[in-house]
Chain A
């Protein structure tokens, strides 16, 4: 089944509540991907073993980023988030790091203080979205089918269905996978990588791309530290080798230990984004006021 608006039809992904009758108000029109860059036609019968006249073969230089299309969807999502004051986070980790437990604990604590919504990515089932909805927060499940990551296009579709309130907080829980989601910008303001102490403390070195692109590393399940051989200092040192500017917090979503600094970080980052938006709007207002001479 092909989506007639953006032409999407590949893969077997599925977005809850979306049977392809969707509205698409995210900026989605960039299928004409390449109006920049050089397009040099080499004549017929070029180098690379084709005798002139015998074949119609020719060389075409195109120089296009393979992830360019994803990045354009991500930019459209980002514009949408900024315009609506929505602070979007992309939560990434391996399966079993406690992402969903962390998320439900976070939603429970922030509920009532600001509008929130969740996009859940998993290959199959709506179990995680069901767990989120049990907290009373709106959630939409994206099943990626055989896909190993969310991409910006899927998230754009989910936004159509989600109807998140202005100035809200959006958590995007990516597919549990420390490899593939690293390559796909979703348009988020911040990327948070969650690592639990029941995993190896050398994961930042083993999966460097994921840690290189993250703004914050959350070390989860610290209540289990007495029972495992996880060296927190070493893990932090490894993470900083990969990403000198990564911010790091340790917590246990289960016991609530360390939750406060995480919630503070969320508020601070969201306020920073809103302040930047305010400054931008004030600059626009100043221009408009100058134009009408008031």
Chain B
């Protein structure tokens, strides 16, 4: 359940942005969660509601933007799509893959007032 501490980090980011950019309440949070990021969107939702209680984002809506996994195949020398870390290359069936995308966890955008 490291989603709990990830959500605590989200609230920290919201707090410092609130000071920096002068807003008091967060109404919506857009999170980017890569399919290879190791965070589970449903667990993030569950923890987000728990962690934001009593914070500036109490009752805020959570919008999750899932991004696709990408890897560089050493055999094919090109970028291919992967869904999981143990996927074979969809083109050559090999496992010489280096993950190049879809592992990000980011706060993208906020609706605030």
Contact = CB atoms under 8 A, between A and B. Distances in A.
Interface of A: 10-11, 31, 33-34, 39, 41, 46, 48, 50, 55-70, 147-149, 151, 179-184, 204-205, 208-209, 212, 238, 240-242, 244
Given A65-B104, A65-B106, A205 B86 contact: yes
Contact of B21 (A10, A60, A67): A60
A57 B13 contact: no
Interface in B5-50: 5-6, 8-10, 12-13, 16-17, 20-21, 23, 27-28, 31, 36-39
Contact of A39 (B5, B16, B21, B38): B21
B9 A60 contact: no
Contact of B111 (A39, A57, A68): A57
A208 B104 CA distance: 16
Contacts of B110: 59-62
Given A64-B107, A66-B31, A66-B105, 5 more contacts: A60-B17, A62-B17, A68-B13, A212-B99, A241-B95
Contacts of B10: 66
Contacts of B5: 11, 147, 149, 151
A33 B16 contact: yes
5 contacts: A34-B17, A58-B23, A59-B109, A208-B86, A212-B85
B78 interface: no
B113 to A, nearest CB: 4
A34 B16 contact: yes
Contacts of A50: 111
Nearest to A210: B38
Nearest to B16: A33
Interface string B88-100: 1000000111110
B109 A184 contact: no
A10 B6 CA distance: 13
B24 to A, nearest CB: 9
A33 B10 CA distance: 13
Pairs of residues from A and B, 5 with the lowest C-beta to C-beta distance, nearest first = A180-B2, A208-B85, A241-B95, A56-B113, A209-B38
A148 B2 contact: yes
A78 to B, nearest CB: 19
Given A240-B95, A242-B85, A62 B2 contact: no
A70 B9 contact: yes
Nearest to A57: B113
A60 B112 contact: yes
Contacts of A151: 5
A55 B86 CA distance: 48
